[in-house]
Structure 1
Amino acid sequence: MTSKRNPERMPAAPDPAAGRFATLTFERDVAAPLPVLWQAWTAPAARAVWAAPTPSVAVEFLEADTSVGGREVSLCKVEGQPDIRCECGWLELQPAERSVNYEVVSSGGVRQSAALVTADFSGTGESSRLVVTVQLSSLAGDMEAGYRQGFDAGLRNLAGAAERTMVLQRMIQAPRTVVWNTWMNPETLPQWWGPEGFSCRTKRIDLRTGGEWVFDMIAPDGTVFPNHHLYTKVRPEERIGYTLLWGENGPKHADAWASFEEQDGATKVTLGMVFSTEAEFQEAKGFGAVELGLQTLAKLERCVKSRRDATA
């Protein structure tokens, strides 16, 4: 897992005689509800926020599919050093309970380590606990110290991200295809986006990876709130990752995602946001962002129903 080892501690050259094994355990208490911590741990848009163990490390994601059988491939980049490739494959995902993944780290085409990572989640109310067990095989030099440092930093970053993350969910009684097509449609998206009484005025809209939506959200009293969404990843009928800016090309205030999970003919929609700062998160909570966001998802459901009724 990209954030879990420190590339600055990687050995300079492989040691053919090395064959070290270790079992490492990390524990972290997080001031966030269990469902929020789970989303921060698994959602690709959230993982990209906390992935780099230190500010000197840049992480580039080449693949990101958090599903059983899916994998995450990333490059850790440190100035003046070779890129480090990390492949993470998801073996087990029990929501808000446990995840299991393998991790293979390579540098210069040479495998440095392989590990099995098990994360166990627990919690009640507004607090959660995460216990991570790493079964490490160092293939080129002793990687234990680097893993300890990297995991400590990664879990610290994860906790900070989870504590400024907001997660909203709604079960919509319609197939996933219908819900997805209502969301990712340049005509219907502006019709339902925003809380009750709000409307949207679109300037530009391009709903695809690398696309954007520049629009004004207009409150019932006429107040205009400029918005700019930059779409970083679109996986049809599965997930949207995007960045929220305050106005066109303005400052970023959140990294966000929406996921769509079909359940017995209905669709579970999850909308998540990692705010850029704790202050912005607290301000959003203070003005009722949770309630307003749930109103937005309710408007989505009404739009889905009206479209289905119109074609019935």
Structure 2
Amino acid sequence: MKPEQLPNIGTSSRFATLTFEREVSAPVETLWQAWTAPAARSVWAAPSPAVTVEFLEADTRVGGREVSLCKVEGRSDIRCDCGWLELRPEKRSVNYEVISSGELTQSAALVTADFAGTAEGSKLTLTVQLSSAVDDMEAGYRQGFGAGLDNLAGVAERTMILRRNIRAPRQVVWEAWANPEALPKWWGPDGFSCHTHRIDLRPGGEWVFDMTAPDGTVFPNHHLYREVRTEERIGYTLLWGENGPKHADAWISFEEVNGATEVTLGMVFSTAAEFRDARGFGAVELGLQTLGKLARFVGAD
């Protein structure tokens, strides 16, 4: 799609091509997940603390769309309708977006994101082909995307990605994770036990539970579920104990690959310090142990 092919938003349209670049101290796989996973996007999308972004719909696949509201106190909500046109993992994404307020369409744009990098660091190059119908939209895009990409870089640098290929059908793996009776039976690293206080695995639901380590140490947990897409994705928030401070925003995705299931567990830690602390006490190894217990639970290992 070229700028002249974007939706017609009036005879006063203004065209511009904007380019942004960011160097990120995170693997390109992690940057890609932070760019595309709705749970991560909701963390970095707001350009400033005065802005709240509410996702109404998020379907990150070619042909899928994303609908969000940008909210600022005392102002009308701004709506963004986004559609994914191309998704080449860790290489390129292309999407269109249409910005509107009330009945007025303010702009339409084609957004191309190119990714490059290694396991050590990565680079994002973003090209925005913009057609706007209101004054100062180009300046707003420069400010909004610039701040958002700064946020994205920070989010990617405190994001942990764990993956496991499980030799079982996606429906079976999903049921082990989404069934409130099954989940506590396998959740946690090797040697840990799980005691549930309350569990309600639905959007708006929660799981309050204790993890007990082999040495008897008890770790209180509280998960708040925001999104549950059957056999596709679960998004939730981790709290330090019941109604405690937020620890991380997390998601699990399930992808069918040649009859097996690729499970991706992503966590955006609340601060860089928490991310460093988590890596320091072995969160990667413990998380992979948890995914290994899932594989054993479904009879795939």
Place the TM-score, normalised by the shorter chain, in its bin.
over 0.9
> Is contact 1:177-1:237 (8 Å) kept?
yes
Q: Identify the residue that residue 270 of structure 1 maps to in structure 2.
A: 264
Matched, 1:226 2:220: yes
Aligned residue-pair number:
293
Distance 1:234 1:257, change over 3 A: same
Q: Identify the residue that residue 156 of structure 2 maps to in structure 1.
A: 162
Matched, 1:305 2:277: no
Matched letter for residue 157 of structure 2: E
CA distance in 1, matches of 2:200, 2:71: 31
Matched letter for residue 164 of structure 1: R
- Give per-residue Cα distances to partners, 1:43-100, cap 9 Å, x unaligned: 0000000110111111111111111111111111112211111111101100111000
Instruction: State the shift of 1:143 in Å.
Output: 1.3
2:177 alignment partner, one of 183, 186, 189:
183
Matched, 1:79 2:73: yes
Matched letter for residue 217 of structure 1: M
Instruction: State the shift of 1:142 in Å.
Output: 4.1
| Percentage of pairs with the same residue | 77
Q: Which runs of 5+ in 1 are unaligned?
A: 1-14
Q: State TM-score, norm by structure 2.
A: 0.95
Distance 1:42 1:16, change over 3 A: closer
> Is contact 1:258-1:269 (8 Å) kept?
yes
Q: Identify the residue that residue 174 of structure 1 maps to in structure 2.
A: 168
Instruction: State the shift of 1:17 in Å.
Output: 5.7
| Secondary structure in 1 matching 2:242 | coil
RMSD over equivalenced CA pairs, Å: 1.3
Q: State TM-score, norm by structure 1.
A: 0.92
CA distance in 2, matches of 1:83, 1:279: 34
Moved over 3 A (4+): none
CA distance in 2, matches of 1:127, 1:252: 27
Instruction: State the shift of 1:125 in Å.
Output: 2.2
Q: Identify the residue that residue 113 of structure 2 maps to in structure 1.
A: 119
Matched, 1:50 2:44: yes
Matched, 1:279 2:273: yes
- Give per-residue Cα distances to partners, 1:93-150, cap 9 Å, x unaligned: 0011100000000012110000000000010122000000000001223411111111
2:233 alignment partner, one of 224, 229, 239:
239
Q: Which runs of 5+ in 2 are unaligned?
A: 1-8
Q: Identify the residue that residue 40 of structure 1 maps to in structure 2.
A: 34
